Every structure is written in structure tokens, then in C-alpha cells.
């Protein structure tokens, strides 16, 4: 009877141990699955962070390029403004020279007309002197 009882207890213990072992194996499998899921999520999280870091670096680089472009644009606009000022100064100087040239041409034209007038007067005076010399020579001969 004791042996039947012990055998029965042993069978109960064996059954319970097998049941616990099966449950433990199922629990270990679920743990492994959860652990793999966590590992996958951690990898995904790391990949996301790396992607964000790459984008941050790209944004920083583009911001620096944009800043350089803005500085270059400002520099070019400053150079254009300076060149426009120089152009205006040169244009005004050219206008002044053109005005001086026009004034000189008017004075030259006036002087030429005066010279032509003097040549004309000289010619008339020569003719008058020649005429008087002929009259004097004719009077003296008579």
C-alpha cells in the first residue's frame, strides 16, 4: 500500500514536474520571442537615430552652403553697387568732357568764322590798296 501510495505520489510529482517543465519551456519560448522583438525594436530605434543624425548632418551642411551663398550674394550685390557708382562717376565725367568738347567746337567754329571774315576783309583791303596804287600810279604818270 505504501509503495502504491509512493508510486502514486511519484507519478503525481512526475506529472506535475513535466507540466511545470512544459510550462517553463513555453515561458522560455515566449521570453525568447519577446527578447527577439525587443532586439528588433532596439535595432530599429538605432537605425532611426542614425538616420536622424545623417539628416541633421545634411541639414547642417546645407545650412552652411546656404549661408555661404547668402554671403556670396551680398558680396556680389556690394560689388555691383560699387561698380554702378563708378559707372555713374565715369558717365558724369564723360558728360563733362563731351560738354567741354562741344564748347571748344563752338569756340573753334566761331574763330574759323572770324578768320574767314578777316581773310575776306584782308582780300578787300588788298584790292582797295591795289586799286589806290593803280590810281596813284596813273595820276603820277599823267
Place of cell 500500500: 1
pTM (whole model) above 0.85: no
pLDDT tens for 78-117 read 999 999 999 999 998 888 899 999 999 999 999 999 999 9
Length of the chain: 142
Dump pLDDT digits (tens) for 60-80: 999 999 999 999 999 999 999
Q: What is the mean pLDDT of the chain?
A: 93
50 pLDDT tier (thresholds 50, 70, 90):
very high
Amino acid at each position: 500500500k505504501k509503495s502504491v501510495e509512493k508510486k502514486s505520489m511519484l507519478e503525481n510529482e512526475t506529472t506535475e514536474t513535466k507540466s511545470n517543465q512544459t510550462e517553463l519551456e513555453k515561458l522560455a519560448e515566449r521570453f525568447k520571442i519577446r527578447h527577439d522583438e525587443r532586439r528588433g525594436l532596439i535595432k530599429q530605434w538605432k537605425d532611426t537615430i542614425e538616420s536622424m543624425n545623417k539628416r541633421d548632418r545634411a541639414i547642417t551642411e546645407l545650412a552652411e552652403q546656404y549661408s555661404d551663398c547668402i554671403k556670396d550674394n551680398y558680396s556680389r550685390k556690394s560689388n555691383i553697387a560699387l561698380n554702378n557708382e563708378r559707372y555713374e562717376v565715369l558717365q558724369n565725367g564723360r558728360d563733362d568732357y563731351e560738354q567741354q568738347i562741344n564748347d571748344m567746337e563752338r569756340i573753334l567754329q566761331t574763330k574759323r568764322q572770324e578768320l574767314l571774315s578777316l581773310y575776306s576783309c584782308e582780300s578787300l583791303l588788298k584790292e582797295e590798296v591795289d586799286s589806290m596804287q593803280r590810281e596813284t600810279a596813273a595820276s603820277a604818270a599823267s
